[in-house]
Amino acid sequence: MSESKHVDAVIVGAGFSGMYMLYRLRNLGMTSIVYEAGSEVGGTWYWNRYPGARCDVESMEYSYSFSPELEQEWEWTERYPSQPEILRYANHVADRFDLRRDIRFNTRVTSARFDEEARRWRVQTDQGEEVTARFCVMATGCLSAPNQPKFEGLDEYEGDSYHTAIWPHEEVDFTGKRVGIIGTGSSAIQSIPQIAKQADHLYVFQRTPNFSMPAHNHDLSDEFQRSMKERYREHRQQARESAFGIPFEVTEISQQPALEVTPEERREELKRRWATGGATIIASFADVLTDKEANDLVAEFVRERIREVVDDPETAELLCPDDHPIGTKRPCVDIEYFETYNRDNVSLIGVRSDPIERITPKGVRTGQAEFELDAIVFAIGFDAMTGALLRMDIQGRGGLTLKEKWQDVPHTYLGLTVSGFPNMFVITGPGSPSVLSNMMVSIEQHVEWVSDCIAHMNEHGFEIIEASADAEDEWVQHVDAVGKSTLYPLANSWYMGANIPGKPRVFTPYIGGVGNYRKTCDEVAREGYRGFELEPERVAVS
């Protein structure tokens, strides 16, 4: 058997997490290999090329802050950046910091096993490579394992089919076609208005309606960019200390409970937030995510807007979300989503009351009708948070697999590490604020914490770090308790694992706030990595 190559660290994934991890480890003088299943950098923004794909965190917030030069030189063009623009940015970063030379593209990691004897991770890829490493960093993404369609009859479908999360690189032209889209989450809500402009007819198969707020997207003026760049450092610091990774001046999280203001004041505030655009309406009152009555008032305001925009009252009613408190599923941000239903070539098909029975060779059949379609778009989301990790065979001490360990709850300490899996780190893992934040802020915080930890180990002669089982249990209980103090568990959301049959029902991200979480992580490090067991390097006995 040929000798495996050895590096200090294997990093899995070359999205924003993996790229920054590589950069930081290089600066520590360490050797790394990044494995990336895609053929380029960018992660989410490499894969999700569907029409209308766009970030709903403002461009000047959704970018790296680690390099003042980078942040000064890069010019964003729109308030909310489109997928092609973010992908250009990711490529620019890869070039600027010469990252590609340590990235193996088109290579998927299939297994990572901790060899207790050698105290090394043994990582294997689908290209037949094996590498050993002291550290293994999972930068595999929270929303990178597409939920595969499992409709009966799919194999026999004669038309074209697409998944928003694995969109082709070549342009897809729907001109003159009858198109069906299944799903009405964020991906569908962004792509529906675009597909409707091209298709001969678009049928939207909606199971559960979602709350969506207008983006009010616009070009960024030079003056705005200049003024932001002048105070960028201070602005970034505010983002780091904020609840959601977005500075207070942008989100303005109200301290006022909704029922403590008059109905007129409440309406004015909601109108103001609606006119601002984006998801800021969720932050209009202090208790929107914790008090059902407050939440109902905001939700009703949004339903009123839907009824105002959509001409046909029956369609409007079908589009009004009614099964979850607003904000407890990822709020959607759109460009003319509800307006699209006023087009003659768009039909909304409610598949909650009349479920899809199967895909036929010609299209989609529900209990009551058959729709002939030239193309079907699956906008059915992801096996989020844990999917990308569990699709690999990850084994820790004693051959324990991550799948076994996470059978009931995805146990982590700080969302960063897993007891029984020494020297393995997860970037924005379950139990961290991750998907409840501007992810760029959370990614940078994790990557910096991990690289500082590794630097500390190198400096003090520690070879192994591992979360203690007690610290992990305590963290899992804390994440759960904070989650339960909110309305989030009331929704059948992917945050709860509800979109994937058989997945444990548990609120997976940490809603304690990005700033508070950062403080906790910093305290843990300051106290000599509280809750971790650190083992010194073994001294060779001659």
Contact with ligand NAP (CB under 6 A) among 59, 63, 82, 184: 184
Nearer to ligand FAD, 381 or 483 (CB): 381
Question: Do 235 and 247 form a contact (C-beta atoms < 8 A)?
Answer: yes
The CB-of-494 to ligand NAP minimum distance in angstroms stands at 5
Does residue 59 belong to the site contacting ligand NAP (CB under 6 A)? no
Nearest CA to 90 among 51, 164, 40? 40
Residue 54 CA to residue 85 CA, distance in Å, equals: 9
Among 7, 10, 36, 363, binds ligand FAD (CB under 6 A): 36
Residue closer to ligand NAP (CB basis): 279 or 418: 279
CB of 138 to ligand FAD, least distance (A): 8
Closest CA to 182 of 214, 150, 158, 155: 150
- Residues 6 or more apart whose Cβ sits within 8 Å of residue 146: 163, 165, 166, 381, 382, 383
Choose which of 11, 18, 385, 462 interacts with ligand FAD (CB under 6 A): 18
Which residues have C-beta within 8 Å of that of residue 47, sequence separation ≥ 6? 38, 144, 165, 166, 167
Residue of 17, 82, 242, 412 interacting with ligand FAD (CB under 6 A): 17
Smallest gap from residue 527 Cβ to ligand FAD (A): 27
Residue 111 DSSP class:
E
Options 154-162, 275-283, 437-445, 450-458: segment touching ligand FAD (CB under 6 A): 437-445
What would the x/- binding string for ligand FAD be over residues 56 to 75, using CB under 6 A?
A: xx----x-------------
d(CA 334, CA 482): 30
- Cα end-to-end span (Å), the chain: 28
Q: State the sign of the Cα–Cα–Cα–Cα dihedral 459, 462, 465, 471.
A: negative
Among 46, 301, 494, 510, binds ligand NAP (CB under 6 A): 494
The answer to whether 504 and 476 have CB atoms below 8 angstroms apart is no
- Reduced to 3 states, what is the DSSP secondary structure of residue 175? strand
Distance separating alpha carbons of residues 253 and 273, to the nearest angstrom: 11
Q: Which of the listed partners (ligand FAD, ligand NAP, none) does 443 bind, with a CB threshold of 5 to 8 Å by partner kind? A: ligand FAD
**144 scored as a contact of ligand FAD (CB under 6 A):** yes
Which of 11, 22, 43, 356: binder of ligand FAD (CB under 6 A)? 43
SS3 of 134-152: the string is EEEEECCCCCCCECCCCCC
CB of 152 or CB of 158, closer to ligand NAP = 152
Show the binding pattern over residues 317-356: x = contacts ligand NAP (CB under 6 A), - = does not.
-------------x--x-----------------x----x
- Write the interaction track for ligand FAD spanning residues 123-142; mark x where CB under 6 A is met and - where it is not: ----------------xxxx
Q: Of the listed pieces 187-195, 250-258, 271-279, 396-404, which binds ligand NAP according to CB under 6 A?
A: 187-195
Residue 108 vs 207, nearer CB to ligand NAP: 207
Contact 199, 177 (CB under 8 A): yes
Residues 352-391, one symbol each (x = binds ligand FAD by CB under 6 A, - = not), give ------------------------------------x---
Instruction: Give 10-29 as a 3 state SS string.
Output: EEECCCHHHHHHHHHHHHCC
Q: Say which entry of ligand NAP, ligand FAD, none residue 380 contacts (CB below 5 to 8 A, set by partner kind).
A: ligand NAP
Interaction of residue 35 with ligand FAD, rule CB under 6 A: yes
Q: Where in 126-155 is the site for ligand NAP (CB under 6 A)?
A: 143
Q: How many residues bind ligand FAD (CB under 6 A)?
A: 36
Distance CA 259, CA 314 (A): 31
Burial track 97-126 (b if 16+ CB lie within 10 A, e otherwise): bebbebbbeebebeebbbeeeebbbbbbbe
Q: What is the DSSP letter of 432?
A: S
- Contacting residue, 9, 10, 11, 16, with ligand FAD by CB under 6 A: 16
CB of 353 to ligand NAP, least distance (A): 12
208: contact with ligand NAP by CB under 6 A: yes
Q: Among 18, 51, 141, 185, which residue interacts with ligand NAP (rule: CB under 6 A)? A: 185
Among 63, 187, 251, 386, binds ligand FAD (CB under 6 A): 187
Query: Which pair of structure tokens corresponds to residue 130?
Result: 């094996």
**Other CB atoms within 10 Å distance of the CB of residue 389:** 25
Which of 30, 33, 55, 213 touches ligand FAD (CB under 6 A)?
Answer: 55
Is 186 a binding residue for ligand NAP by CB under 6 A? The answer is yes
Residues 251-285 as b or e (16 or more Cβ within 10 Å = b): bebbeeebeeeeeeebeebbeebbeebbbbbbbbb
CA angle 460, 462, 463 (to 5 degrees): 150
Distance CA 423, CA 9 (A): 10
- Binding interface with ligand FAD (CB under 6 A): 12-18, 35-38, 43-44, 46, 48, 53, 55-57, 62, 108-109, 139-144, 187, 388, 392, 427-428, 438-439, 443
Binding site for ligand NAP (CB under 6 A): 55-56, 143, 164, 182-188, 190, 205, 207-208, 330, 333, 351, 356, 379-382, 435, 494, 499
